[in-house]
Chain A
Amino acid sequence: KAGVTQTPRYLIKTRGQQVTLSCSPISGHRSVSWYQQTPGQGLQFLFEYFSETQRNKGNFPGRFSGRQFSNSRSEMNVSTLELGDSALYLCASSSDYNEQFFGPGTRLTVL
């Protein structure tokens, strides 16, 4: 099976812009979770989608949003970018919570 893919791998944006990141889970996986990884805060859970519904959410402001499509692909959107949003954004898919499979991440730089 193909692994989790994330696009793009690298992004450079300026403050105030918005960005959309994409994640394609492993075939057959219906759960997609998003994480933000920064040197200062480590790995932080953003949200999880299952069958097109958000069923879990971390402690991030409303500027961070996501969605999932009927084919389980997921997107996350960050609006009004801030310098502190610079991070590696990781997507993970799962068929159950005994194991999550991670993508390579999208590295976002906000200037």
Chain B
Amino acid sequence: AQSVTQLGSHVSVSEGALVLLRCNYSSSVPPYLFWYVQYPNQGLQLLLKYTSAATLVKGINGFEAEFKKSETSFHLTKPSAHMSDAAEYFCAVRVFSGGYNKLIFGAGTRLAVHP
């Protein structure tokens, strides 16, 4: 079955430090992969998506992710963390089920940024 695993439910970094949020996927077909961010009391906002084009995907707010087929990974990175990046981040994979597509989400990683 197709799924995603996010390693680390909580990640804490200093302001200005590298952000690395890990996501591994399981898929029998070339996957479509997504990273979403959720701020407190809000819905999910798309950060970036991989749809089998370039393996390095750039998103909003300075985030990027690299699709590595050999490692079945799609880790999210940002060179320099900002206080406003504190939020929960979800990795998702599009799966084909019951004749149609749907998204399966990872458990989420809560990012804390401290001064």
- Chain A residues near B (Cβ < 8 Å): 4, 6, 33, 35, 42-43, 45, 48, 50, 55-57, 90, 92, 97-105, 107
Residue among A35, A43, A55, A105 having the largest count of chain B Cβ atoms under 10 Å: A43
Given the interface pairs A98-B32, A98-B49, the reply to whether A55 lies near B42 with Cβ below 8 Å is no
Residue on B nearest A55 in the bound complex, by CB: B100
Say how far B20's CB is from chain A's closest CB, in angstroms: 21
Known contacts A90-B43, A103-B43; 20 additional CB pairs below 8 A are A6-B43, A33-B103, A42-B107, A43-B90, A45-B104, A48-B100, A50-B100, A57-B98, A90-B44, A97-B32, A97-B94, A97-B101, A97-B103, A98-B32, A98-B49, A99-B34, A99-B46, A100-B46, A102-B36, A104-B43
Nearest neighbor of B6 in chain A, beta-carbon distance: A42
User: When chains A and B are docked, how far (Å) is the Cα of A48 from the Cα of B95?
Assistant: 13
Cβ of A49 to closest chain B Cβ, rounded Å: 11
Say whether A56 contacts B98, CB under 8 Å: yes
Within 8 A of A (CB), among B93-115: 94, 97-108
Output the least CB separation between A12 and chain B (Å). 16
For A35, A57, A97, A104, which residue has the most chain B Cβ atoms within 10 angstroms? A97
Contacts of B98 in A (CB 8 A): 55-57
Residues on B facing A (Cβ under 8 Å): 32, 34, 36, 41-46, 49, 51, 90, 94, 97-108
Number of A-B contacts (CB under 8 A): 55
Q: Of A33, A42, A98, which contacts B102 at CB under 8 A?
A: A33
Binding site secondary structure of chain B? strand
Given B32, B42, B90, which contacts A104 in the complex, CB threshold below 8 Å? B42
Q: In the docked arrangement, what's the CA distance between A105 and B97, Å?
A: 25
Q: Is the CB of B102 within 8 A of A45?
A: yes
Task: Report how far A55 CA is from B96 CA in the complex, Å.
Answer: 12
Residues of B within 8 A of A48 (CB): 100, 102
Chain A residues near B34: list those with CB within 8 A: 99
The residues of B that contact A97 with a CB separation of less than 8 Å are 32, 94, 101-103
Contact B99 A55 (CB under 8 A): yes
Complexed CA–CA distance, A57 and B98 (Å): 9
